Amino acid sequence: MISRALTGRAVDELAIRLAGATEFAIDEIVRRRGDAVKTAVEVVRLQHPGATPNDVARMIVYRRSTVSAIAGGVSALPGAIPGVGTATEIGASLADVVALVYAEVALVMAVAAAYDHDLDAHDDRAADVRVVLALDAGVARFGKHGAELADGKRLDPRDHELYEEVNRGLGALVVKRTARVRARTILGRELPFGIGLAIFAKTKLREQACLNLPSPPVEFDFFGEKKTPTDRLLIGVTTTICGREIRLFNTHLLAFFMLNSSSEVHLDQRNLVEEQLRASARMPTLLTGDFNVSKHESLIQQFATAGYQTVQSTEITWRRRPYVLDHIFYNDWLKPVAWAVKPTPASDHHVLSAEFELTR
């Protein structure tokens, strides 16, 4: 159970960081994503000919994850939150709240479209969204005159001062849902460097897994405050290529060298990854990622004991320092036939690619 003090501090912190984010989300979706929302609603109508507006609205609510994805919230987050350089640098709890805002805005817009309300009437639709957010956050309630504030006054959706309370209410919802771990993350843990993970394939992915890799409480200075790093992740999937099952992993480990420490001292994340590699030894397996190990020989030696090799360890993969941070590890079910390190303007890391053939 979260203590009241911890919850209050977490909610206050979220409300501060959300300043402006609510209005940004409304503007982004209401004014720029209306066509995408209309298309999503039209698809539902085409799939269910004869459905009434009420039926369409209900189906949209059931499919809210699809609608919020079309709204494109995550890609727009950097402009919404002060101090955030890329979407992957947002702390987990803050991302929860902003994602909630974007999902709600997209859903309100989609329901309005289901009832044939004009999505190009931006001010009216923005007012609809503000009313729903206020109700969702517990700042307003339904009364005799529609949406009312706690004191009985009618809600003015154009009252921008109201949204300090809306942001606090939304923050409270997330803190209650995510409990102590996330609340502590808000208060004392930050992502000092970006983290983003994905696995893409032309073949169907299944048996998805996501393993938390806890970070130790190594303190560092973050804009004048003492913080400790957030946890990292290992993700995995299985796919079938040429009739053979292959296990794929991707990870992004903590850069201890940027915290004046070392992963040789703090081995826990590496050890957890090694455990997964050993568990997958009976099938073709690839592990890719940014391992953030400046002295990469120790990492290569560790994973070699589990039966994995890296495709290359000589060419630098990071622009900022002469380190080989990125690797593609493979076991003896696979053999690399080609690999390359290519600079790209899209990242401070170079692209590492490889081609493999099965050995048995």
**Residue located via tokens 């290529």:** 241
Q: What's at 283, amino acid-wise?
A: M
Domain boundary among 138, 166, 189: 189
pLDDT tens per residue across span 96-136: 556 666 777 788 888 888 889 998 888 888 888 777 777 76
Q: CATH number for the domain including 260? A: 3.60.10.10
Q: Which residues of 133-155 are buried (b: 16+ CB within 10 A; e: fewer)?
A: bbbbbebbeeeeeebbbeeeeeb
229 and 107, same domain (yes or no) = no
Residue 252 sits in which domain range?
Answer: 191-358
201 and 324, same domain (yes or no) = yes
pLDDT tens per residue across span 229-264: 878 889 999 999 989 999 999 999 988 888 888 888
284 and 304, same domain (yes or no) = yes
Give me the number of domains the chain comprises: 2
Could you write out the DSSP letters of every residue in 177-193?
Answer: HHHHHHHHHHHHEE-SS
What was the pLDDT predicted at 181? 43
- CA-nearest of 123, 120, 155, 115 to 136 is 155
Domain boundary among 159, 189, 219: 189
218 and 173, same domain (yes or no) = no
220 and 347, same domain (yes or no) = yes
State the pLDDT confidence band at 30, using cuts at 50, 70 and 90: confident
343 against 151, higher pLDDT = 343
What was the pLDDT predicted at 146? 74
146 and 246, same domain (yes or no) = no
51 and 175, same domain (yes or no) = yes
25 and 140, same domain (yes or no) = yes
Domain boundary among 155, 189, 223: 189
129 and 255, same domain (yes or no) = no
143 and 202, same domain (yes or no) = no
**Residue located via tokens 């995510």:** 178
Q: Cα torsion for 33, 34, 40, 45, to the nearest 10°? A: 180
Please state the pTM of the whole predicted model: 0.53
335 and 214, same domain (yes or no) = yes
Phi, psi of 92 (to 5 degrees): -60, -40
68 and 158, same domain (yes or no) = yes
State the pLDDT confidence band at 273, using cuts at 50, 70 and 90: very high
224 against 263, higher pLDDT = 263
